[in-house]
Copies of this chain bind each other. A is one copy, B any other.
């Protein structure tokens, strides 16, 4: 499985789709956007921080584990750091696989595992 993991302080630019083979039948993408309301507070945005070396290592480990269960052809993971305004993406994940089942299960589990285990934090900033 091709694995691409990146962190950026800029607006996430979705990379052009590159198919590793003609046996890829499913491309699933997820963008996590900052919402205006969180825990009944109106936000202007969120601030994200990561311990990048450990986060990259953990993500690679998680992706490898998931690939053994839900074999996929490629995963692209991009997380924005710093200030992310409401309506913009803090996270982009793309998974390519032969069939949609693996890609959807890989994606859903990868995000759950990221939220549980990977050192990426957000802090709330009140509007105004």
Q: Which residues of A contact B (CB under 8 A)?
A: 17, 19, 22-37, 86-87, 89, 98, 100, 104, 107-108, 111
Cβ contact within 8 Å between B108 and A104: yes
Complex A-B: 17 CB contacts under 8 Å: A17-B31, A22-B37, A22-B86, A23-B37, A24-B35, A25-B32, A25-B33, A25-B35, A26-B31, A27-B89, A28-B28, A29-B31, A32-B100, A100-B111, A104-B104, A104-B107, A104-B108
**A interface: dominant SS:** mixed
Complex Cα gap A29–B39 (Å): 27
Copies held by the complex: 2
Known: A35-B98, A107-B104. A28 touches B26 (CB 8 A): no
